[in-house]
């Protein structure tokens, strides 16, 4: 009888509900959009489909790209559980997006317009400098 691939570690089916939510994107830290230059870079990111930008509850900013991990099995379990990357091992099940009602992010933007509307309220003077610098296309301007 063959043993399951996770024989040397916990059974993933009892570690967490195998919803697979945390295996369907990658995210990397980015500079906060606190200058015209950085707002411009954030806009460039958000002009691409399947890319989002979010601020964590710890006020750190991240780029998020929706992409399903090739190791995620149809069962919702990890196909390389025993040898999964450290970042997967470190992910906390407590309070994760699959087990908590609290949104995983403080704020999240899937498009340029919603991001610019946020900037116009969050930092009105910065938004004004972005307008003056010519990086805000008319179609994406925040409503005033
Ligand atoms: S989001 Fe949470 S419950 Fe869902 S697979 Fe990831 S760790 Fe498990
Ligand atoms: S390696 Fe496994 S745990 Fe990590 S993202 Fe892929 S399926 Fe999920």
Distance CA 53, CA 106 (A): 11
**Pocket perturbation via mutation, ligand 1, pick of 11, 13, 20, 69 by most ligand atoms within 8 A of CB:** 20
What is the pLDDT, as a whole number, of residue 137?
Answer: 94
Distance CA 110, CA 141 (A): 15
In this structure, the number of other CB atoms found within 10 A of the CB of residue 5 comes to 15
Count of positions (residues) in the chain: 144
In this structure, the number of other CB atoms found within 10 A of the CB of residue 116 comes to 23
**Pocket perturbation via mutation, ligand 1, pick of 77, 94, 99, 105 by most ligand atoms within 8 A of CB:** 99
Return the domain boundaries, the chain. Answer: 12-135
What is the pLDDT, as a whole number, of residue 2?
Answer: 40
pLDDT digits (tens, 9 = 90+) for 89-114: 998 887 788 888 888 899 999 999 99
Average model confidence (pLDDT) across the chain? 88
Confidence bin at 144 (pLDDT 50/70/90): low
pTM: 0.84
Please check the confidence at residue 119 and state whether its pLDDT lies above 90.
Answer: yes
Q: What is the CA radius of gyration of the chain?
A: 19
What is the pLDDT, as a whole number, of residue 60?
Answer: 97
Q: Give phi and psi for 30, each to the nearest 5.
A: -135, 165
Distance CA 127, CA 111 (A): 16
pLDDT digits (tens, 9 = 90+) for 80-91: 999 999 999 998
Among 21-25, 42-46, 60-64, whose mean pLDDT is lowest?
A: 21-25
Distance CA 48, CA 87 (A): 25
What is the pLDDT, as a whole number, of residue 115?
Answer: 97
What is the pLDDT, as a whole number, of residue 13?
Answer: 55
Q: List the residue whose alpha carbon is closest to atom 8 of ligand 2.
A: 23
Bigger pLDDT: 74 vs 3: 74
Q: What is the mean pLDDT of residues 13-19?
A: 69
């Amino acid at each position: 009888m063959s043993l399951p691939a996770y024989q040397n570690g916990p059974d993933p089916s009892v570690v967490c509900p195998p919803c697979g939510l945390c295996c369907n994107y990658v995210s990397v830290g980015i500079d906060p959009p606190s200058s015209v230059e950085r707002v411009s870079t954030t806009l460039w990111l958000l002009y691409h489909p399947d890319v989002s930008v979010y601020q964590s509850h710890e006020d750190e900013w991240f780029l998020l790209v929706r992409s399903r991990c090739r190791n995620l099995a149809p069962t919702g379990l990890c196909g390389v559980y025993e040898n999964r990357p450290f970042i997967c091992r470190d992910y906390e099940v407590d309070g994760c997006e699959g087990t908590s009602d609290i949104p995983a992010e403080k704020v999240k933007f899937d498009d340029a317009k919603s991001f610019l509307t946020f900037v116009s309220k969050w930092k009105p003077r910065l938004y004004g400098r972005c307008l003056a610098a010519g990086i805000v296309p008319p179609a994406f301007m925040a409503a005033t």
